[in-house]
Each structure stands twice: as structure tokens, then as C-alpha cells.
Chains A and B, each alone.
Chain A
Amino acid sequence: MGAAFSAVYVRDLRLALRRRVEALLPVVFFIVAVSLFPLGVGPEPQTLRQIAAGVVWVSALLASMLSVTSLYAGDHADGSLEQMILSGQSGFVVASAKAAAHWTVTGAPLVLAAPLIGLLLDMSNAALGTLVASLLLGTPILSLLGGMGAALTLGLRSAGVLLILLILPLAVPALIFGAGAVSAVDSGVSTAGHFSLLGALLILTALTAPLATSFALSIALE
């Protein structure tokens, strides 16, 4: 089981490293998307500070969803997915490994880019720290949910947009707890509740999303 996980995980990382530019596109999108908000809302630091947490979180959400469409599509097209399903390895393990790889390639860079973004939006240090921490817990949730969405929409024509429509409602709790933590810090309220809920959500998602994903994959391959 561990062998299968590391085999899939390492392979996906290796593939991403060989297409470095493409792997970094979601982060670029993230930065561009966030930069649009001041242009739309106005550059006043007061306003920006208020909307910063929400803006960063939503942009991270969209960046994650956009990049997750291709999580299974490539393997599906060249027949690798069939082989993975046939291998007798647990679908749960394969789905977890794919989600972990997606997070490493897309989610983690988003978390690393967040402080830069926070500075652009004039966030306080405390808010910035909380934002990074919330994204650290939240982006894996997005990768897990996104993997499930990618499996459900495998091979469909408008898979990208459809996936976003399907997964966004499910991502709302993570968004609320994550962005809410930053608002709490700004108002001087304790963030313990937010982080415990976010953490619980992460555990719940990690235990259930790969299961749903493996079901979705076998449905898609039938």
C-alpha cells in the first residue's frame, strides 16, 4: 500500500518537474487574480485589508480548481489510469497519492505565495500569519475535493467549468473557516475555533474524499 502511494506520488512529482512552466501556471493565475481586485475595488488600503482574506482564499480556490482538471485527464488519455485501476492497488491509496501530489505541486506553492499577496493587500503581520496557516490546512482540502471532481467529470467536454460548479459548494465550509480565521484575528477574536473546525474538516475530507474519488474513477472507466 505504501509502495503504491509512493510510486504514484513520486511519478506525479517527476512529471510535474519535467513540465515546470505548466506546473507553475496556477500560481501565476493566483497572483494575477488577486491583483485584479484592487483594480476593481480601488487601491485604498483600508478596503483592501478588509477584503484581503476573502480575496486570497477565493483566488486560491479558483487556482486549485483550474489546475485539478488535468489530474486524471492525462492518465485517462494514455491508458495509465486503466492500469492503475487494474493493478489491484487500493483506489483509495491511488486517489490519496494523486491528491497529495496535486497539493505538493499546486497547493504548497499557493501557500508560499500567500505572504507576497498579503503584502500587496496591506495585511497586518498577524493576519498574514493566520492566512498562511489557514491556507496550509485548507489547500489540501481543495486538492482532495478537486480530485473527486476531476474523477467525476473525467473525459467530459466542459469538464473544467463543470468541475468548478460541482466542487465550489462543497468547498464553502473550508472557505468560511479559513477566511473567517483571518477576520477573527483582525477583530482580536480567538481563532482557535476556526482552526479546529478547519483541521477537523481536513481530517474528514482526507478520510472520505479518496473513497468517493475511487468510486468515481471506476464509474468513469466502466
Chain B
Amino acid sequence: MSTTPSARATSSDAGELPTLTATDLACRRGNRVLFRGVNLAVRPREATWLRGRNGRGKTSLLRLAAGLAVPDSGKILWGDKPVRAAADYAAQRVYVGHANALKEDLSVTESLTFLARMHGRPSDAPAIRAALERIGMGSRRDALVRTLSQGQRRRATLARLALEQRTSIWILDEPYDALDSDGVQAVNELLHEHLRRGGSVLLTSHLSPGDAAPTLAEFDLDPFA
């Protein structure tokens, strides 16, 4: 089942999150076309699960959505502005990539505080601590990232989601990677709350999000190769 774009929500809707809209989007890696003609919309309170085989461009699409990359052709808009030009996009978006963005030689708290500060999110000690506890990393909050397992590092980076207070779009690349069942549950709870608050989600996952996950609209990238 794929989502079809309908009338785009503009940011003029009072307090409502804008819609992420991709129109006729195409992406290349080197000389190879990854996908073309992609039309996708992620509206407030919607969660889209981007599916497709390896190498189909799922990560590339997420990076385009985040505004890191430039599309080969087509547009990707936040509300009515291109993502790379939308002034308020940074405040209304969380991008968790494949890499954890944690520094090996810093403690979990220090790493998370840095990320929070850069993104203009709450970065005071109590907020960071609460976020880490929410994701089950409270006891390891002063450990150096270097000493953590893959699953713990993933949790630490996902703690950023627990810091979000405003509605935003969450663009997540393999969020469930390396997580145990507790971790998966914590993430799903965060997703539920986020969607209830009016946020939206665009994620990829080769693992099944599980039964406790919120309702996900599936978008298959394979046909667009």
C-alpha cells in the first residue's frame, strides 16, 4: 500500500506540522539511477515505513528528505518550501541516520548534550538524564561511548527522540538496529506519543517494527528503480 499525495498541508495551518512532500523525485549514485518518479507525502500524525531491497536507495531518500542531499530531479518540500531552503526545518526535524553520531571518547551524557545543544533542544542535565532514562540508558549515562555495545549506542542516540517537546518529523534510518526487545518497546512507545502529539515519521527498517508499533503506511521503493 503506498501513500498518494493529496492536498498539501501548508504551515499556515495553526500549529499543525507541515507535510513532507516528494514530487517526481529521482536520485542517482554515481552513474546508476537509484530511483525515479517517486511521489510521497508524509502528513502530520502519519508514519511511513519505507521499504525496499538493499541498494534501492532507502537511505538516499531519507537523506534527501532530511535535506542533506540534493535530488537529481524532482522536488522535496516541507510544506511549500524546498527542504534545503525551509528556515524552520531544522527545528521541526529529527534525523537519526545509520551512524550514531556519538563520539567514542565522550560519555553518553556529553555526546547527547552536544547534539541537543547544536539542535537547539533542551540540553540541561535533568532533561538529558530524563531522556536517557526513558530509553533505558540511565545507568550508563556517564560511561564512555567507547565502552558501550552496539545496542546501547543505538539507544543512546535514540534518546534524542525523548528530548523532543515540539511536534516534528522524525526521519529514522534503521532505528531498531541492534536493539533488544526492551529497546524496541521503548522506541515504539516514543513513536506512539510522538504521533499522538501531531508529529510525523518516515523510517526505514529491515526488521519488523513489531506488533506494538504504531500503524505504519508502507511505501515500497522497489517499483521506482
Same complex for A and B? Answer yes
Decide: A80 and B119 in contact? CB cutoff 8 A: no
Among listed B14-22, B34-42, B94-102, interface-contacting one: B94-102
B66 close to chain A: CB less than 8 A? yes
Verify if B199 is at the interface (C-beta below 8 Å from A).
no
Q: Does A86 lie within 8 Å of B90, measured CB to CB?
A: yes
A32 at the interface (CB under 8 A from B): no
Measured CA separation A3–B119 after assembly (Å):
11
Alpha-carbon distance A222/B95, docked complex (angstroms): 15
Least Cβ–Cβ distance between B27 and chain A, in angstroms: 11
Is B69 close to A, CB under 8 A?
yes
Chain B interface helix/strand/loop/mixed: loop
Chain B residues with Cβ under 8 A from A85's Cβ? 68
Chain A contacts for B101, CB-based, 8 A: 78-80, 82-83
Within 8 A of A (CB), among B25-78: 66-70
Q: Is B110 an interface residue (CB 8 A)?
A: yes
Would you give the shortest CB distance from B125 to chain A, in whole angstroms?
A: 15
Residues of A within 8 A of B (CB): 3-4, 7-8, 11, 14-15, 18-19, 74, 77-80, 82-89, 221-222
User: B residues near A, CB below 8 A?
Assistant: 66-70, 89-91, 93, 95, 97-106, 110, 114-115, 117-120
The 8 closest A-B pairs by CB, nearest first: A88-B90, A79-B99, A79-B101, A87-B118, A18-B105, A7-B117, A83-B101, A80-B101
B86 to chain A, nearest CB (A): 10
Closest A residue to B87 by beta carbon equals A88
CB pair B103 A80 closer than 8 Å:
yes
Give the contacting residue for B120; candidates A77, A88, A222; CB below 8 A: A88
Q: How far is the CB of A148 from the nearest CB of chain B, in Å?
A: 20
B51 CB → nearest A CB, Å: 23
How far, in Å, is B107 (CB) from chain A's closest CB? 10
Known: A11-B114, A87-B119, A222-B68. A78 touches B105 (CB 8 A): no
Residues in A with CB closer than 8 Å to B110 are: 11, 14
- Bound-state CA distance A74–B101 (Å) is 10
Bound Cα distance from A14 to B106, whole angstroms: 8
Q: Are the CB atoms of A82 and B68 closer together than 8 Å? A: yes
Residues in chain B near residue A8, CB distance under 8 A: 118
